[in-house]
Amino acid sequence: MLPTPATQIFRTSLTPAEIQHAIRERFTVSVEVPRSSTTTWADTFDGRLDGAERILALDRPQDGEPGTLRLQDASSGTFLLGVPARELPDFPEDVASESCREVLKPLVGIRRLLPLATRAARIEEVRVLDGESKTVARLILESGTVEGLDGQSAEWPTLLHLREVRGYPEDYRMVGRFLEKDLEIEPEPRSELSLALEALGAPDRLRPRPKIALLAEEEAASAMRRLLVDLREIVLLNEDGVRHDLDTEFLHDLRVAVRRARSLLSQVRDVLPPAATKDLRGELKWIQQATGPLRDLDVHLLKLPTLRRELPEEHRRDLDPLERYLHRHRNDELAAVVTALDSPRYAAALEAWTRLAEDKVEEQDGPLGREAIGPLAARRILKAWKRILKKGGRIREGTEASALHSLRIDGKKLRYLLELFGGMWPTRDVKPLVKALKKLQDNLGDFQDFEVQQDKLLEIAEGMLADGDAPPSALLALGRLSATLQEGQERERRRFAAIFGKFTTPHRIAAFRELFGRPA
């Protein structure tokens, strides 16, 4: 791969006119007609591009001409991609350029690209020329305002972009030296996007959410409340994304937060006020149930390409009626979820969550409320883990599937406990145990999924028939898929013994006991 031409940003209080005057004294330049341009930066809701040190922006000239979609390395500023575009894509699939899609897709996954901020700038380009009047370096002067999504705006500092022209590195360095030494202009280490977010008062907008750090000696009631506050925040943050159906991860993240809250309240009992806890658990269960069908449909649609690939190529289009069915019903379920989120019951549930988390219920905390969270969590973790050992140890070749499903639920409980409380122990000790548990969970999860999917396919086939959109070829395709899923389920079942064996080696068991048997 060719190295991309270098680029550097300088920040200055000099005006563009002053800078131009100074540059003309030293170099032969050509100044382009000033133009206006807007730049909109975008990232996923969870800042995946930022996490990968990438910046995505759409530059649009004011004259209505097509703009450029660019992707840059956030720290060096080097351009990785630049393609013509009129709009910011919602998803990588929306980009016309294949090479661009191939770069964006792994970074962004299934998340939607959301605009973060827009800058309206006056751009003056100064081209530094050689003896043939060839451009050997570019200086782009920018000034203007930046606007956030909720309408706040701020002044944009004058920035200088120095851009190398490929094949002229020495000229680039010379201009850079002139700016720093002669004009005493400082290089700006931060990216434009960071500057934009800072100007808008939201410098941490893309930072990952900090994990709640619990202290082992903290009172259990206080620790649990802090966790509940955090989980509720996550639900609130994701609600709008669900309502507007921006992408499927908003609902997923909302449900994960609700599930964790439920798990917390049901597994660590006698800490918070019992009646309020019980009521909230009931309401959280309702939220899970109200959002379940939509999530199921999302998962089916996400898995559909994989399912298609299970079929011989000439039969893949036979699943088109399935896709139509899923989309039709998804629209209905989405409407139902939005109704649920807008309902008084939901508002009341969140209100109850707030009161419990902020210690505003009239009931007293439970008998274990004042205990230290470290030892309490350790006991719960050990208990959950022992249950897995016991139940899993009883599973033999001929044991019914329900035993594995039940073990999976036990595994989930342990997993949530480790996610919520594992931070109190050294990462290097907890990580291998979580990893081993994940392997077991993956096996049990796949086993369950294969079964559930088979049931679902039958249900879907019946639904398609009821809707009057069930050609024989589609039904046959579903039948084929069902057989493939059955094979998959049997395969996972056969793998269980070995995987469970690896989870329960003497070394593993000793490690667990050692870690959670001692104080955090």
Token pair in block for residue 310: 């299970």
82 binds another protein (CB under 8 A): yes
| Under rule CB under 8 A, residue 61 binds another protein | no
Give min distance, CB of 241 to another protein, in A: 32
Which range of residues in 2-10, 146-154, 345-353, 429-437 is near another protein by CB under 8 A?
Answer: 2-10
Q: Which is nearer to another protein, 72 or 489 (CB)?
A: 72
Q: Is 97 in the site for another protein (CB under 8 A)?
A: yes
Q: C-beta of 177: minimal distance to another protein in Å?
A: 20
Q: Please name the residues in contact with 245: beta carbons below 8 A apart, sequence gap of 6 or more.
A: 334
Q: How far apart are CA 137 and CA 72, in angstroms?
A: 19
Measure the CA–CA gap between 58 and 62, rounded to whole angstroms: 13
Phi, psi of 501 (to 5 degrees): -60, -40
How does DSSP assign 290-354, residue by residue? HHHHHHHHHHHHHHHHHHHHHS-GGGGGGGHHHHHHHHHHHHHHHHHHHHHHTSHHHHHHHHHHH
Parallel, antiparallel, or unpaired: how do β-strands 153-164 and 135-148 relate? Answer: antiparallel
Rounded to a whole number of angstroms, the minimum distance from the CB of residue 29 to another protein is 13
- Rule CB under 8 A: is residue 2 a binding residue for another protein? yes
The stretch among 160-168, 220-228, 350-358, 463-471 that binds another protein (CB under 8 A) is: 160-168
390 binds another protein (CB under 8 A): no
Residue of 108, 129, 105, 193 lying closest to 156 (CA atoms): 193
Torsion of CA 265, 230, 353, 219, to 10 degrees: 50
Contact 42, 57 (CB under 8 A): yes
Output 174 or 475, the one with its CB closest to another protein: 174
Three-state helix/strand/coil letters over 130-190: CCCCCEEEEEEEEEEEEEECCCCEEEEEEEEEEEECCCCHHHHHHHHHHHHHHCCCEECCC
φ and ψ at residue 188, rounded to 5 degrees: -100, 115
In the bound complex, what is the minimum distance in angstroms from residue 161's beta carbon to another protein?
Answer: 14
Size of the site for another protein (CB under 8 A): 19
Give the one residue of 34, 84, 201, 312 binding another protein; rule: CB under 8 A: 84
Q: Compute the least distance from the CB of residue 114 to another protein, in Å.
A: 25
For residues 135 and 143, which CB has a smaller minimum distance to another protein in the complex?
Answer: 135
Residues in contact with 510: Cβ distance below 8 Å, sequence separation at least 6, in sequence order: none
61 or 369, CB closer to another protein? 61
Q: Which is nearer to another protein, 5 or 369 (CB)?
A: 5
Count Cα atoms within 13 angstroms, Cβ side, for 446.
18
Nearer to another protein, 133 or 427 (CB): 133
Residue 193 CB, nearest approach to another protein (Å): 22
CA distances, 128 to each of 26, 165, 210 (Å): 10, 10, 46
Residue 165 C-beta: closest distance to another protein, Å: 4
Work out how close the CB of 99 gets to another protein at its nearest, in angstroms, rounded to a whole number.
Answer: 8
**Closer to another protein by Cβ: residue 132 or 313:** 132
Restricting to residues 214-233, name those near another protein by CB under 8 A.
none
Q: Does 167 bind another protein (CB under 8 A)?
A: yes
64 contributes a contact to another protein by CB under 8 A: no
Instruction: Find the shortest distance in angstroms from Cβ 103 to another protein.
Output: 12
Answer for the pair 77, 57: CB distance below 8 angstroms, yes or no. Answer: no
Token pair 């700016």: residue: 179
Compare residues 5 and 375 and give the one whose CB is closer to another protein: 5
Smallest separation, CB 81 to another protein (Å): 10
Site map for another protein, 114-153, x if CB under 8 A? -------------x----xxxx------------------
In the block, tokens 């005006």 appear at 15
Q: How far apart are CA 385 and CA 406, in angstroms?
A: 14
Q: Which is nearer to another protein, 100 or 197 (CB)?
A: 100
Options 5, 115, 369, 445; binder of another protein; rule CB under 8 A: 5
Check the CA dihedral 352-356-360-365 and report its sign.
positive
33 binds another protein (CB under 8 A): no
Overall residue count recorded for the chain in this entry: 520
Among positions 166, 303, 327, 513, the unique one binding another protein when judged by CB under 8 A: 166
In whole angstroms, how close is the CB of 140 to another protein at the nearest point? 13
Q: From CA 104, how far away is CA 111, in angstroms rounded?
A: 11
* Residues at the interface with another protein (CB under 8 A): 1-3, 5, 82-84, 96-97, 99, 127, 132-135, 165-168
